């Protein structure tokens, strides 16, 4: 029995150093990337950003186009209501009010749908960039011998020797020659 415990103790002592070695963490070799600079300066990112700005401008113009006649019609209806001095409006005025409210609602729905589309477009652009950046990070880290990559904004201070932003930007320009600024149409849920 005594030999059994000695054998077990020797085996445990032999395994302990290898278990400790397996748990050792390698020294961190850190690289940093200025993600804002990369996404602002990549060629296709600039083009997609301009397309999104154009979509937003178009939406703002459409809002103005819809609002002007509605504002004029609203003032006219309000003047007609005010002229009644508290009397009940006739059927024609009630019909005008109902038509005005329907136009307002229709315009609001149109604007809301366009806003939602622009938001989907922005998310789609971001997804296309993110899908390409993941493998690029790994490739740049491997090439530069880093095992950790941080965003420049999450560091307190760095030296330029650990900044791999130019490498990431060049790789993104190559890997992502164009970005679609229009998200694919959403598929309607299928019924059973």
Q: In this predicted structure, what is the pLDDT of residue 9? A: 45
Q: What is the pTM of this model?
A: 0.76
Q: State how far the Cα of 138 lies from the Cα of 147, in Å rounded to an integer.
A: 9
Q: How many CA atoms lie within 13 A of 19 on its CB side?
A: 6
Q: In this predicted structure, what is the pLDDT of residue 6? A: 43
Q: In this predicted structure, what is the pLDDT of residue 155? A: 87
Q: In this predicted structure, what is the pLDDT of residue 192? A: 52
Contact between residue 122 and residue 52 where contact means Cβ atoms under 8 Å apart: yes
Q: State how far the Cα of 52 lies from the Cα of 155, in Å rounded to an integer.
A: 30
Q: In this predicted structure, what is the pLDDT of residue 14? A: 53
pLDDT mean values, one per 10 residues, the chain (192 residues): 47 52 80 94 96 96 94 92 88 91 95 95 96 95 93 88 95 95 79 55
- For 77-104, b/e burial (b = at least 16 CB within 10 A) is beeeeeeeeeeeeeeeeeebbeeeeeee
Query: Can you tell me which residue has the tokens 């992502």?
Result: 176
Q: In this predicted structure, what is the pLDDT of residue 183? A: 93
Q: In this predicted structure, what is the pLDDT of residue 188? A: 63
């Amino acid at each position: 029995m005594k030999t059994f415990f000695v054998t077990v103790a020797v085996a445990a002592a032999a395994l302990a150093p290898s278990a400790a070695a397996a748990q050792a963490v390698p020294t961190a070799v850190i690289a940093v990337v200025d993600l804002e600079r990369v996404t602002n300066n990549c060629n296709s990112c600039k083009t997609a950003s301009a397309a999104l700005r154009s979509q937003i401008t178009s939406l703002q113009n459409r809002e103005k186009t819809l609002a002007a006649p509605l504002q004029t019609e609203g003032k006219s209806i309000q003047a007609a209501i005010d002229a009644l001095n508290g009397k009940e409006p006739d059927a024609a005025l009630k019909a005008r009010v109902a038509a005005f409210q329907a136009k307002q609602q229709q315009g609001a729905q149109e604007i809301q749908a366009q806003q939602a589309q622009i938001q989907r477009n922005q998310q789609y652009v971001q997804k296309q960039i993110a899908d390409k950046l993941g493998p690029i990070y790994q490739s740049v880290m491997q090439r530069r011998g880093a095992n950790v990559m941080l965003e420049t904004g999450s560091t307190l201070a760095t030296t330029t020797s650990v900044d791999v932003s130019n490498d990431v930007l060049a790789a993104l320009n190559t890997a992502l020659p164009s970005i679609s600024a229009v998200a694919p149409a959403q598929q309607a849920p299928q019924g059973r």
